[in-house]
Structures are given as structure tokens and as C-alpha cells.
Structure 1
């Protein structure tokens, strides 16, 4: 027989005074300030709510300034979409200000950066050309990048150095928009981490897997050297890479620890339009489990990264560090 239920009588429910309750949000500590016309950037920043994503964004900007003051690395790791969002001028400004110590990217980011420097445009319409067998076969991209890698092999340079130096040496018309060229020009590590078969230059007749692999492996070793210095105040920023760069970071961190470097008490942040498993585990949680903190900022790169850069520049200016050499 099914049991018949009678509605509960709420008349005896106990209550308490609202004034006695602990609250996670209050006007004095968390609410946004008034936004009006004519605010300076600093005034705008101080009016952001001190909670959730806005608080994390401000915290990351403050960590960049603090790392700069301690002369600890700030490593920017980016996926290809960051370049396709046209953020090179923003990132270049941070490099020139000394806020970014090293840049790591995947193969697609390097390709988009190369194409922008050469013709001022990138990102072909894949769907329109895939079934015609034309996707990814631009001669200038495949020939230019593969030849630059092969030519630099004997010099001991890595992938990022080879492409950035080639862009400058070949006097690409839009070299000022190249992040790799900017890194080479300012003497900071630029590393490219490739998964063979994932990038359009791998399908060109001049592609050489041995060259590509060796040049990218050199960059992994170089990146590991920078990661080894992250401890006690450094910062790893993962922007728009859901798999490859979080994995590269974890392995670079592991090898640095294995070789005796004490890499702890540093911070990480993951910027992406959605949060994925590997960045959460391999950037936010696992690396900072020995000390430090990880931050997640969800949203569009073309909005969040300029906001972050603006906050960093303000912080550097207040600290008297704008434009100072790292």
C-alpha cells in the first residue's frame, strides 16, 4: 500500500535575525562603484566589484606587478585564437613595459603570427576550401616557415627564435604586429610547442619532421629553464590553450623539480571562453598545490586581455616600473 503524505506544518519553524547572519557579499567590501563619463582608467578599476571574475582579474594584474618588483618571471602561454583576436599590439605593449618575461605558444599561434607579419591578415575560411583540397596550402606560409626553421637549425636556435628572427631579417611588411618578432627584438624567450600533424605547415612538401621536432624540442628545454625560476613569486598565464600548453607546462615544471629546482609558491591563471579539464588541473590546481594560488577568468580574450593589460600598466606606473628592463 502506498503511503499517503500530509503537507508539513510550517507554523513551528524557527527563525533568526538577519542582523546576526554572516554574509559573503556586503556593500562596503564588494559592491561596484558608480560608473560615469570621464573616469580615468584607475578610477574605473577601483570601481569594479571586488568579487568573482572582477576580483580575480585585479588580483592577477597585481601579481604581475609584484612579480616584476621581485624580478620573477611572468610567462604568457597562448593558443592561436589569441593571435586571431588581434591582440598582438596589447601583448607587445606588455613586453615593452617589461611585464612579460617569456612567451610560449602552440604551432597555430606561430603560423597566424607569421601570416599577419607577412600580409597583415590571417585565418582562412576552412569550410569553404577544405573539400576542394586547398585548406592550408598557402605557398608563402609553408615555404617561409619551413625554410626558416631549416636555415636556423645549425645556429642552435629554437622554433620561436628562428621564426621571429626570420620575420625581422626578411623585413616583413607588418613585422611590428608579430609577437615572435617582438620577443626576438626585446631579447626574451619565445617558444613554440608543436604537435606534429596539427599545423598546416606540416602538410607542405618542404616540411621536415626531424627539423620541426628538433626545433620545438629545443624550445621545450628553454621554456623549462624559465619555469625553473617561477618559484617564490612568478606567474604562469595560460590564455586560450585547452590542451597542449597546459600539458607542456606540467612537464616543464616536473623536469625542473626533478633537476633540483624548488619551484613553489608561485601563481597561475587560466583565461578562456570556457574552462576545460586540463587547464583546471594542469595550470590551476596541480602546479599550485605546493604553494601559491590559481585563478580562473572566463570570457572573451578580446575583452579580458586588454582589461588585464590596462590594469597591469596602471599598476606598473604606480610602482614606478613602467618601461624598466626586466
Structure 2
């Protein structure tokens, strides 16, 4: 079966593939729309998800002096990052190394004026305490900053700066 893809040139995943840039997908069973498609095959999705997770974890193991952007993903990004960082740190520790000099930027729509990097984890009476995704990233070490922004606006501005 061939599935037409008229907007292929706009596909981030397709362009990453063409440019041989690693691209990983991390599906949540029952959560994503793909599970209603007649060609969906759970075993294939699971096998591919495991491969993608291990590829992602390998990338995290090389994060020393690097940057991690989490844009608009308050659930999946911190969860897979936390597990990957744990795996990567455990391996690095065996060689007397650590991943500790990295920069994490979390971009989301929720308003917050808490400075995680300067003030640390907020007290329980501060609404920022319940930004679980910020708490997760903050606990992973490095330098973590939060930016309140529309994801589309942020990505467009980033693209303009990088080109």
C-alpha cells in the first residue's frame, strides 16, 4: 500500500532522514492518533520505539557541553530524558566520568517567573513547584532555564537565528 504524502518537503522527520540526521519518535500506546490507522501494528511500533529510545539515550550520553531543547512537551520529553540521563550517567560513572556541563531550555506556554537556575527548586507553596517537567529537568543537573513562549513562535525565531 502506498500512502500519498503531498507535504513531504515540510516533514521534519522526512528531511532528517534525507540529511542522515538522527530523529527519534517516542509513542505512547493509546495516546497517539496512529493507533486508529488500519496499517497500525503494535509490535512494529514497540520494536521501533525501543530502537529510537536507545538511539536517544546514546545522544544524551554525549550531552556534556551540549544543549537540550524541550519544546512543548511537558510529559514525554522529561520522562524519556530522565530515563536516558540515568542510563547515560550510570555508564559514565563506570569510567569515572559524569555528564554535568550541559544546558537545558524548557519552552512551554505556562506562565512562570521562577528562576530555577538561580533559586533552585521552589518551595511547595509556590505554583512553580508543580511544574513537574521543570523539576525533572532541574534534577538532571546542568543549567536549566524555562521560557514561556508559544512553541511555533519559538521555533520560528530559532530557525531565523540559525539560518
> What's the TM-score bracket when you normalise by the shorter of the two chains?
0.7 to 0.9
2:16 is matched with 183
Q: Equivalents in 2 of 1:224, 1:264: separation in Å?
A: 16
| 1:197 and 2:50 correspond | no
Q: Equivalents in 1 of 2:14, 2:66: separation in Å?
A: 24
Once the two structures are superposed, the pairs formed by residues 34-113 of structure 1 within 5 Å of their partners are none
| 1:301 and 2:151 correspond | yes
Q: CA deviation at 1:244?
A: 1.1
Closer/same/farther in 2, CA of residues 204 and 185 from structure 1, 3 Å limit: closer
Name the count of aligned residue pairs.
141
Q: CA deviation at 1:264?
A: 1.4
Runs of 4+ aligned residues of structure 1 deviating over 4 Å after TM superposition are none
Q: What SS is found at the alignment partner of 1:214?
A: helix
Q: Equivalents in 1 of 2:151, 2:37: separation in Å?
A: 31
In the TM superposition, what whole-angstrom CA distance separates every residue of 1:216-238 from its partner, at most 9, and x where no partner exists? 1100000001110001x101000
Once the two structures are superposed, the pairs formed by residues 126-165 of structure 1 within 5 Å of their partners are 144=3
Given that 1:228 and 1:262 are in contact with CA atoms closer than 8 Å, whether structure 2 keeps it comes out as no
Given that 1:230 and 1:263 are in contact with CA atoms closer than 8 Å, whether structure 2 keeps it comes out as yes
Q: What SS is found at the alignment partner of 2:31?
A: coil
Q: What SS is found at the alignment partner of 2:40?
A: coil
Given that 1:247 and 1:278 are in contact with CA atoms closer than 8 Å, whether structure 2 keeps it comes out as no
In the TM superposition, what whole-angstrom CA distance separates every residue of 1:102-123 from its partner, at most 9, and x where no partner exists? xxxxxxxxxxxxxxxxxxxxxx
Flag the structure with larger Rg: 1
| 1:281 and 2:135 correspond | yes
Q: Give the TM-score normalised by structure 2.
A: 0.77
| 1:267 and 2:110 correspond | no
| 1:254 and 2:91 correspond | no
Instruction: Give the RMSD, CA atoms, in angstroms.
Output: 2.1
Given that 1:236 and 1:268 are in contact with CA atoms closer than 8 Å, whether structure 2 keeps it comes out as yes
Q: Give the TM-score normalised by structure 1.
A: 0.40
1:219 is matched with 52
| 1:310 and 2:160 correspond | yes
Q: Equivalents in 2 of 1:173, 1:205: separation in Å?
A: 20
Q: Equivalents in 1 of 2:59, 2:71: separation in Å?
A: 18
The runs of 5 or more residues in structure 2 that have no matched partner are 112-129
Closer/same/farther in 2, CA of residues 264 and 203 from structure 1, 3 Å limit: same
Q: Equivalents in 1 of 2:23, 2:84: separation in Å?
A: 15
